Amino acid sequence: MNSPEPGTKSPRARAPGPAHDVDDALYEKSQKIYPREVHGVFATARVAAATVLLGVFYCLPWAQWNGRQAVLFDLPARKFYLFGLTLWPQDFLYLTFLLMLAAYSLFFFTALAGRLWCGYACPQTVWTESFLWIERLIEGSRQQQMKLDQSPLSLRKFRLKASKHAIWITFSLFTGFMFVSYFTPARELAVSLAAFDLGPWEWFWLGFYGFATYGNAGFMREQVCKYMCPYARFQSAMFDKDTFVISYDGKRGEPRGARRASADPRAEGLGDCINCTMCVQVCPTGIDIRKGLQYECIGCSACIDVCNDVMDKMKYPRGLIRYTTQHELDGGKTHVLRPRIIVYGVILVLLCGLFGWRLAQRLPIGLDVLHDRNQLYRETAGQIENVYLLKVINKDDAAHQYHLTVDGIDGLAFGNNVSAVHAASGAVVNFPLSLRAREEALTARSMSVRFTLTAVDDPTLTVNAEAKFLGPIP
C-alpha cells in the first residue's frame, strides 16, 4: 500500500504557523465519485456476472418444486426447502459444511487471483453497478452528471433527479420484497402486499432491506467497501507475491507523460503511460492504480479495460494495467501451484466430496426414542414393562406409512398396538409406546433394545434407534 505521491496534499496535512491559522479540517467531506462508463472484456464479464446473479436472486422465489416454493427458508416451521431437499434443525451439519465451503472457496480464489469476489460477485458491487446503470440512463455520461450536479436547481434538474430516485426507490423496495420472499412464499406475499396485509416482521424486513439497498448502492457505494467491509482489511493477508492482482506495470509505464500519438516514447524519454487519467476516471472507488496495490481497490478490472483501449489507440501493446503477480513485475516467474494453493485446493475438494457423500447418504426419515423418566419399569403378571415416547419425523416430500419393529430381548413385544405409523410429508408424529418382556428373559438390569422403522412403500427408508430396557436385578 503506497502513500500519496510526492507533491500531493495529504488530507491530514497541516499548514505551518500558529494553531489558529490551521484551516485544514481533520474530517474531510467525502467527494462524490462519477465513474466513467467502460467497455471491454472484463466489463462484459462483470455485466454477465451481475445479470446472472441478479436474475437468480429475483427469479428463484417464483420457482415451484413439487407444489411448493423451490427455495424457502421457513423459519417459524424451522425447515429449509432447497428444491427436493428439506433441511431440519437436525441437519445443521449441512449448513456447517456450506459455510466451510464458502470460507475455503474465498481463501482459495483470493490467494489465486485476488479480490474476484469483490469485483464480480459481491452484492454491494452488483447492486451499485445496477444503480450506476440507472443513473447513466437518466442523467447521462460522467461529464453530464457532473455538469448537472454543479448547475442550479431547475425544472429539468428536478425532473431528472426525481425520476432517478423514484426508480431507485422502486427497485430497492422490489429488492426488499424479493428478499422477504425467501422467508415467506413469494406468491402469498404478493397477494398480502396487494391487500396491505403483511405481518409486522415482513413490513420491517421489506423496508429495512429496501432502505439498505437504496442507501448502500445509491449513496454509500465505495464507502461501504472502504470503511464498512471487514474483508477489504484482511484480504491482503491472503495475498502473496504469486497472487494475480490488478497492477500497473510501472517499469513499462514510467516516466509517464503526454505525447503525440505518432511520437516515439523512447526517443522522448517516456514510458507507455500517456497520463490520460482514464484509469482513475473509471475507478468506482476513485483511486489511482498507478500508486500500487491499495486496499480500496475492489478488483473490478475497469482500469484494465480502459487502459487497453488507450493502448490500442496509441498502437502500444495492451496490458500496461493487467492481472499479474509481484514476482512477474519484479522480472521473476509466477508459481501458480504453491503450498497454500494446494492446501486450500485439497481441503476444498475434500469438503465437496464429504458434503456430497453426506447428502447422498441422508435419509428423509428420523426416529427418536425417549425412555419414560417417571417410571423405570413396572411388573405386570410376570412380565416387565417399559414405557417410551417415540418421535417419528417424515422429512420426505411424500406421506408414508411406516412399519415399526423392535428386537434385542427374547420374546420382546409391544404393549400397545402401534406397529404401523402414518406420517404426512414434513410431519413429526409423537406417541407413547410400551414394551413387555418376560422377567426370566432379562439377563441384566439394563439391556439394549433396537427399534426399526421402515416405510411400507419404500423399504430403503429405514432408520434404527437404540434404547435401554430396564428391569429388576436378575
DSSP strands (E only) in 215-267: 245-248
For 444, phi then psi, to 5°, come to -150, 165
Residue number with CB closer to ligand SF4 (43 or 463): 43
Position 434 contacts ligand SF4 (CB under 6 A): no
Under the binding rule (CB under 6 A), the answer on residue 321 touching ligand SF4 is: yes
Q: Is 270 in the site for ligand SF4 (CB under 6 A)?
A: no
Nearer to ligand SF4, 61 or 284 (CB): 284
Residue 283 near ligand SF4 by CB under 6 A: yes
236 binds ligand SF4 (CB under 6 A): no
Nearest residue (CB) to ligand SF4, 284 versus 471 = 284
Binding of ligand SF4 by 307 (CB under 6 A)? yes
Give the nearest distance from C-beta 114 to ligand SF4 in angstroms. Answer: 9
Q: Are 301 and 46 in contact (CB under 8 A)?
A: yes
- Could you tell me which stretch among 43-51, 273-281, 341-349, 431-439 binds ligand SF4 (CB under 6 A)? 273-281
Q: Which of 50, 160, 180, 278 binds ligand SF4 (CB under 6 A)?
A: 278
- DSSP annotation of 61 reads G
Phi then psi for residue 403, to 5 deg, are: -110, 130
> Are the beta carbons of 467 and 449 closer than 8 angstroms?
yes
User: With binding defined as CB under 6 A, does residue 320 bind ligand SF4?
Assistant: yes
- CB-based contact 272:252 (threshold 8 Å): yes
Nearest approach in angstroms of CB 242 to ligand SF4 is 19
In the set 175, 235, 301, 394, which binds ligand SF4 (CB under 6 A)? 301
Q: Would you count residue 279 as binding ligand SF4 (CB under 6 A)? A: yes
For ligand SF4, the closer of residues 298 and 435 by Cβ is 298
Min dist CB 123 to ligand SF4, Å, is 17
Establish if 126 lies at the interface with ligand SF4 (CB under 6 A): no
Judged by beta carbon, residue 79 or residue 256, the one nearer ligand SF4 is 256
Segment interacting with ligand SF4 (CB under 6 A) among 170-178, 278-286, 373-381, 446-454: 278-286
Site string for ligand SF4, 1-40 (x = CB under 6 A): ----------------------------------------
Cβ-based nearer residue to ligand SF4, 277 or 405: 277
Helix/strand/coil for 216:
helix
Q: Which is nearer to ligand SF4, 185 or 299 (CB)?
A: 299
CB of 253 to ligand SF4, least distance (A): 6
DSSP code, position 338: -
Site for ligand SF4 contains 300 (CB under 6 A): yes
What are the contacts of 40-46 at 24+ separation with CB within 8 A? 40/304, 40/305, 40/306, 40/308, 40/309, 41/305, 42/300, 42/301, 42/302, 42/304, 42/305, 43/301, 43/302, 43/305, 45/120, 45/301, 46/119, 46/120, 46/129, 46/300, 46/301
CA distance 137 to 130: 11
Within 13 A of 356's CA, how many CA atoms are on the CB side?
Answer: 6
Q: Does 224 bind ligand SF4 (CB under 6 A)?
A: no
Peptide bond into 255 cis (omega under 30): yes
Interface with ligand SF4, residue 303, by CB under 6 A? yes
Which pairs count as long-range contacts for 100-105, CB under 8 Å and 24+ apart, including other chains?
100/351, 101/348, 101/351, 101/352, 101/355, 104/344, 104/347, 104/348, 104/351, 105/348
Interaction of residue 273 with ligand SF4, rule CB under 6 A: yes
Alpha carbon of residue 193 to chain centroid: 27
From candidates 122, 126, 132, 287, binder to ligand SF4 by CB under 6 A: 287
Report how many residues bind ligand SF4 under the rule CB under 6 A.
30
- Specify the stretch interacting with ligand SF4 by CB under 6 A; choose among 51-59, 141-149, 280-288, 448-456: 280-288
- The CA angle 133-285-11, to the nearest 5 degrees, is 140
Radius of gyration in angstroms for the set of CA atoms belonging to the chain, rounded to a whole number:
33
Query: What amino acid occupies position 112?
Result: L
**Which residues sit at the interface with ligand SF4, rule CB under 6 A?**
246, 248, 253, 256, 273-279, 282-285, 287, 289-290, 297-303, 306-307, 310, 320-321
